[in-house]
Structure 1
Amino acid sequence: MTPFGVYLRGILMGAADIVPGVSGGTMAFITGIYDRLLGSIRAFDVTCLRLLSRGQVRAAWLHVDGAFLLLLLLGIATSILSLARLVSWLLNAYPVPLWAFFFGLILASALVLLRQVPRWTPALWACLVAGALTAGFIALSPVVAMTPGLPGFFIAGFIAICAMILPGISGSFILILLGMYGPVLTALKNLELEVILVFGLGAGLGLMCFSRLLHWLLQRFHAATMALLTGFLFGSLLVVWPWKHALDWVLGRDGELRPAQQVPVWPWEFAADPMLQVCLPLAVGGFALVWFIDRLWGSD
């Protein structure tokens, strides 16, 4: 795998993590670097600390696959910093077409993960259904009103990063449920360094803790874990369904009312929306994009 290939995969992961409902972990999985990524994260262990304490910086760098991680992080940062402003503007200006594009992305991602379980049994189908029902329940639940102070950003980073590395669960989706997606996106867009640093510290700590649990689950219960994650992804389609009616509202940090709880409705209830005609092509485009990425790199 070339350095540019790793950097490009980082760009795809960063773009996916910006999208509510799409997982950077899914992009890592379908582009063939997921196992290497988990192994690199887990390598920040006692051995790494021992090497650093002895001044063996190069050995520690090789132990954690530092070149791979650095290129991947550069790609992720490039994507997040360049897309945050665009996605924020699109969510305000053209929300329904953008959600339609996201819907296509997630549906294709779910079907890609569905193929990762070679033989389905009743127990695995039960895991799939349980994951879908859990994600659906969370999607229809009211938004948790977290206070967007520095402790809130730290907690949000700790929780969201666990989803960001999972194939099938979106960190942005978790941020929406915590009521922190808007504040985090605004901080990235405005380069609020203090907020970004605190959020990053929470994410780093969460990553160190959760990657070990995830590796253990995938090693011992791979098929069941993948079935559960795929169910989560199918259930999260409710989050990005473009056509919704709000049941409750909350006052946002900008003084404007934001929907706190929404339910999906049929597209024809938005028949007067002039953007309705572009939603299906955008959904198909999102689906085709993930399918193309999977065909290009899925067997790497």
Structure 2
Amino acid sequence: MRALRLFIDVIRGALIGVAEIIPGVSGGTIALIVGVYGTLIGSAGHLVRGVVRGVTDGVRGRGFAAAKQHCAQVQLRVLVPVAVGMVVAVLVAARLLAPLIDAHPEETRALFAGLIVVSLIVPIRMVGGRWTAREVLAAVAAAILTFGLTSIPSAPTADPNLLVVVLAAAVAICALVLPGVSGSFLLLTVGLYAPTLEAVNDRDLAYIGAFALGAVLGLSLFVSGLEWLLEHKHRITLAIMTGLMVGSLRSLWPWQGETGALLPAGDNVGLAVGMFAIGIVIVAVLIVVESALVRRRVADGEDVLEPARPAT
């Protein structure tokens, strides 16, 4: 049973890692779908606070008791296999998927749109019950905002300064903890998508190190705030997440110009519709499988697909 759970968590991490490579697809969305979103957010928050308290309390001579208390709540049995799956998937996907996206952009965007459309069921179910007018308005506003952001023309690729890489990574990594926002698309918008894929494929340690530093800074500043929102403003936060996911669909319209401008449907409409349907089926199957696993207590994820139950 433990080996099966470990394998499942590695696969979950791999799916999140692949999503992080694909512009328009949010790693946070996939984390929601596969049932580790709450665990990742909670563990990352405790890890960040543990490190910060360890540094500040150590300097002040207060000991490390508070830091150890936070670190003890990090669910390493989930976090480690998920992280391993993510790293392996990013390395493989950067090598295999990037050329596929370049060669078949319309088909792949249609596939990704199907993934996002059906995944809307996840945050909607997490809100639970009937939506209030305030929650609907918040979702609509978030959708409009995301639609506007994804309408920004893509910047041309350039040889970036490492400081720019740090800042971009700090923003893009937030997509890992914010469903509906694509980190890869944010990199694409600022002209760092192709350089980042190239750095991963070429094992450019300076670039990768700068990106990792930005990611750590971004998570340190962002995770705790989002965790607080999910705990104290649960419904409205998830309603906004739903709107973000709806608005992100604009970036996945299959027919686009080089700068992201929307174009009329082309000749391969049938193929695009077919890929869209495949995307819907893939996520629907993931949701069904995840629900079955949760019911059987094989995998974690009660905080995503089912209401949390008190410990017994």
- Taking structure 1 as the reference length, what is the TM-score of the superposition? 0.85
Aligned residue in 2 for 1:164: 176
**Matched residues in 2 for 1:240 and 1:209: separation?**
29
State how far apart, in whole Å, the 2-side matches of 1:45 and 1:155 are. 19
Change (3 A) 1:144 1:89: closer
- The residue identity in structure 2 corresponding to 1:281 is G
Q: Per-residue deviation at 1:231? A: 0.8
> Is contact 1:23–1:171 with CA below 8 Å preserved after alignment?
yes
Structure-2 change in CA distance of 1:47 and 1:139 (3 Å)? closer
Match of 1:123 in 2: 134
Once the two structures are superposed, residues 38-67 of structure 1 have per-residue CA deviations (whole angstroms, 9 ceiling, x without a partner) of 111111255555499679999886443334
Cα distance in 1 for residues equivalent to 2:42 and 2:270: 45
CA contact 2:174–2:218 (8 Å) conserved in 1: yes
2:159, 2:95 → 1: CA distance? 23
Cα distance change of structure 1 residues 112 and 44 upon mapping to structure 2, 3 Å threshold: closer
SS of equivalent residue, structure 1 residue 44:
helix
Q: One-letter code of the match for 1:39?
A: G
SS of equivalent to 2:261: strand
Which 10-residue stretch deviates more, 207-216 or 163-172?
Answer: 163-172
Deviation at 1:277, TM superposition (A): 3.4
Q: Which residue of 1 aligns with 2:27?
A: 24
8 A Cα contact 2:27 2:179, kept in partner = yes
Q: Judge conservation of contact 2:49–2:70 (CA < 8 Å) in 1.
A: no
Q: For 1:38, which of 34, 38, 41 is the aligned residue?
A: 41
Work out which of the residue numbers 172, 186, 193 in structure 2 matches 1:174: 186
Q: Which runs of 5+ in 1 are unaligned?
A: 247-258
Q: 1:143 to 1:72 in 2, by over 3 A?
A: same
Evaluate the alpha carbon distance shift between residue 230 and residue 123 of structure 1 in structure 2; reply closer, same or farther with a 3 A threshold: same
Q: Aligned residues: percent identity? A: 33
Aligned counterpart in structure 1 of residue 240 of structure 2, from 228, 237, 241: 228
8 Å CA contact 1:110, 1:168 repeated in 2? no
Q: Which amino acid aligns with 1:81?
A: L
**Cα deviation digits, residues 54-109 of structure 1 (max 9, x gap):** 79999886443334322111100011100112221012211111111111111122
Is residue 2:291 matched to residue 1:279? no
Q: Which residue in 2 is equivalent to 1:104? A: 114
Distance 1:147 1:225 in 2: 37
Query: Is it true that 1:13 corresponds to 2:49 in the alignment?
Result: no
* Pick aligned residue for 2:145 from 117, 120, 134: 134
1:188 aligns with 2:200: yes
Q: Which runs of 5 or more structure 2 residues have no equivalent in the other structure? A: 295-300, 302-312
Aligned partner (choices 212, 217, 239) of residue 251 of structure 2: 239
Distance 1:45 1:79, change over 3 A: closer
Instruction: Report the more deviating stretch, 46-55 or 93-102.
Output: 46-55
* Alignment coverage as a number of residue pairs: 281
Going from structure 1 to structure 2, the CA distance change for 1:66 and 1:282 (only over 3 Å counts) comes to same
Taking the aligned partners of 1:46 and 1:110, their CA distance within structure 2 comes to: 31
Provide the rounded CA distance (Å) in 2 between the counterparts of 1:107 and 1:180: 27
Distance 1:61 1:132, change over 3 A: closer
Any idea what SS the aligned residue of 1:236 has?
A: helix
> Any conservation in 2 of the 1:139–1:236 contact (CA below 8 Å)?
yes
